[in-house]
Amino acid sequence: MNRIEETKIAVIGLGYVGLPLARLFSTAFPTVGYDRNSQRVDELMKGHDSTLEVSDELLQDAIKRGFSCTSQLEHIKDCNFYVVAVPTPVDENHNPDLTPLIGASEAVGKVIAKGDVVVYESTVYPGVTEDSCIPIVEEVSGLKFNKDFFAGYSPERINPGDKLHTVEKIKKVTSGSTPEVGAYVDAVYRMVIKAGTHLAPSIKVAEAAKVIENSQRDINIAFVNELAKIFNRMGLDTNEVLVAASTKWNFLPFKPGLVGGHCIGVDPYYLAQCAQRYGYNPEIILAGRRMNDGMGAYVAEQVVKLMLKQGIQVLGSHVLILGFTFKENCPDVRNTKVIDIIKTLREYNVNVTIHDPWANPEIAQREYGVEVKSVLPTARFDAIVLAVAHKEYEGIDLVPLQADKAVVYDVKSFLPPHSYDQRL
Ligand SMILES: NC(=O)c1ccc[n+]([C@@H]2O[C@H](COP(=O)([O-])OP(=O)(O)OC[C@H]3O[C@@H](n4cnc5c(N)ncnc54)[C@H](O)[C@@H]3O)[C@@H](O)[C@H]2O)c1
C-alpha cells in the first residue's frame, strides 16, 4: 500500500458526486477524473459543469492546477487510489441495478496494480463492495484481494443544489478492508474534508450507514405524507399542524412532499432487497416507498377535486405546473415525481403546460417526452400547481396566470398565505 504522499487519485464517474469530489481531491493530490461519457469529459475540460455542482471558476482553476478529465482508461493507469462514484439505480421492478458498478469494477480491474486501493462511494446495500464488486476486480486484474490490492467504502452525503453543505463541509464516513487500509483511506479523505471523517469499523458498516440515512428520511417523509392525507380530509392545514408540533424539542421537522431523485426514493429499495435476501420482509421500509411513490397521483387528484368544486370543467382544461426538476434550484430531472402529477392530470384529459427555469428542456423531452418551458407563458390557466420551490418562484404573482375561478395548489408550502387554495 502507498503512503499518503505518493497517493495519486482517479475518480471514476464524474456526475453529481464524482466531479465535486475529484475537484476537491485535486486540491491536495494529483487527481484525474474518468468518465466513460466522452461528451461529459469534453464539457468539463472546457471548464463547465452542466450539473452546476462545481462552479466554472473552481473547475477552471483546478484544470489550471493540473486536474484533468478523460474517457480513456489508460490515462488513469498510473493512479494508485481509485474512487468509484457511478450511479446505483433500480430497474423497472425496483430491484437494484448494479450494471454501472460492475462496469466500473471491470474498468478498475484493468488498471489496478499491486498495492493500490479502490474505494467505492456509490450508495449500495451492505455487502455489495466485497461480495459483488471486489470479485470482479480480482478476476479482471488477476490480483488477490487484501494481499495485492485493497478496498474501502466511503459513502457520499452531498445534496445536489445545496451550496451550503458542499462536499468538504460534510463529515464523511470512511472504511477499509483491513485496519491499516481503513486508517490510510481515512487519512486520504481527512486531507480534504474540512468537516472531518468517521472511520467505521468495516466496509459493511459504512455501506449500511449510508443506506439507512436515506431510508430514514424516506420513512419520515412518508409519515408526514400520511399525515397530510389525514389532515386534508379533516380540513386541517398540515403545515400549520407541523409548525405547532415543531415547538417540541424532539419533534422531527419533516415536511410532506414528492420524493424523487435517485437517492431517497431509490436507496430504500436497496435496503429492502438486501433484507429479503436474508429472509426478512421489510414492512415499514416498503410502506414508506409505497406512500411516497403515490404522492404525485394524489396531488393531481386533489387538484382535479378542487377544480370540480369550483365548477371548472376538467376535461380539456388547462393546468400550469411550476417546476419539473426533482428538487428546488437544481437542474436534475432524474426520477422527478412531478411527472406523476402530469401523467395523472393527462388521464383526466387535462392540457398540461410545464414551466421550469432550471430543467434542461432537451433532457426533459428525451427522458419524459414532455415540453418544458423556460419562460413563463402569458396564457391564463384553470389551475396552477406549484410543484418545486425554485428561488425564481419566490414572490411570483400568479394572478395574471389565473383564469376565472382558477385553483392554486401549493405542493411545497411555498406560496404566501391567501395566494393558494390548498397545500399538501
Ligand atoms: N446525486 C446525489 O445527490 C448523491 C448523493 C449521495 C450519494 N449519491 C450516490 O452516488 C452515486 C453516483 O451518483 P451521481 O448522482 O453522481 O450519478 P450521476 O449519474 O450524476 O453520475 C454518474 C457518472 O458516472 C458515469 N459512469 C457510469 N458508468 C460508468 C462506468 N462504468 N465507468 C465510468 N463512468 C461511468 C456516468 O457517465 C456519469 O457521468 C450513486 O450511487 C448515488 O446513489 C448520489
* Backbone φ, ψ for residue 36 (5° rounding): -75, -10
pLDDT for residue 160? 86
What's the 19 CA to ligand 1 centre distance in angstroms? 9
Specify the 3-state DSSP secondary structure of 267: helix
Given 69, 79, 133, 263, which residue is catalytic?
263
**Can you give the pLDDT at residue 1?**
66
For atom 43 of ligand 1, which residue has the closest CA? 123
416: three-class secondary structure by DSSP? coil
Tell me which residues have their CB closer than 6 angstroms to ligand 1: 12-18, 34-37, 40, 85-88, 100, 103-104, 107, 121-123, 156-158, 160, 262-263
The burial of 112, by beta-carbon neighbours within 10 Å (0-12 exposed, 13-18 middle, 19 or more buried), is given as buried
Residue ranges in the chain whose pLDDT is less than 50: none
Is 263 catalytic? The answer is yes
Q: Which residue's CA is the nearest one to ligand 1's atom 11?
A: 122
Q: How far apart are CA 286 and CA 282, in angstroms?
A: 6
Neighbouring C-beta atoms of residue 308, cutoff 10 Å: 12
The alpha carbon of 222 and the centre of ligand 1 are apart by a number of angstroms equal to 25
- Residue 8 · residue 79 · CB < 8 Å: yes
In 3D space, the residue among 106, 113, 110 whose CA is nearest the CA of residue 136 turns out to be: 106
Distance CA 136, CA 142 (A): 10
- What is the C-alpha separation between 151 and 74, in angstroms, rounded? 21
Nearest CA to ligand 1 atom 1: 16
Please give the Cα distance from 275 to 260 (Å, whole number). 23
- Integer angstrom CA distances of residue 321 from 110, 341, 414: 47, 9, 14
